[in-house]
């Protein structure tokens, strides 16, 4: 099972169980336009091509924290 198939399974499970959408980040060796489109179509929220610069991952992760805090009323 590849990342696209995994993501589709996660999305289907969440929808079936009426869960809030999980944030899915892909770390991939495929950075071409077609690969990017396939990632987004499968439901991935954000991706970074390998090798990963972990400083780049900080911004989207901070946004998740901000959104969670807003939902919790902090």
Backbone angles phi, psi at 17, to 5 degrees: -90, 0
More confident site: 9 or 25:
9
Can you name the residues that pair with 27 across neighbouring β-strands?
48
Fold of 3-72: Rossmann fold (3.40.50)
More confident site: 61 or 10:
10
Closest CA to 60 of 51, 72, 48: 48
pLDDT, residue 13, reads 97
More confident site: 65 or 18:
18
């Amino acid at each position: 099972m590849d990342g696209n198939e995994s993501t589709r399974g996660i999305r289907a499970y969440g929808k079936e169980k009426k869960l809030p959408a999980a944030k899915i980040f892909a770390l991939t060796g495929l950075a071409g336009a077609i690969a990017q489109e396939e990632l987004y179509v499968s439901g991935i929220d954000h991706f970074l091509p390998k090798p990963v610069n972990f400083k780049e991952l900080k911004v989207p992760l901070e946004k998740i924290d901000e959104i969670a805090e807003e939902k919790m009323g902090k």
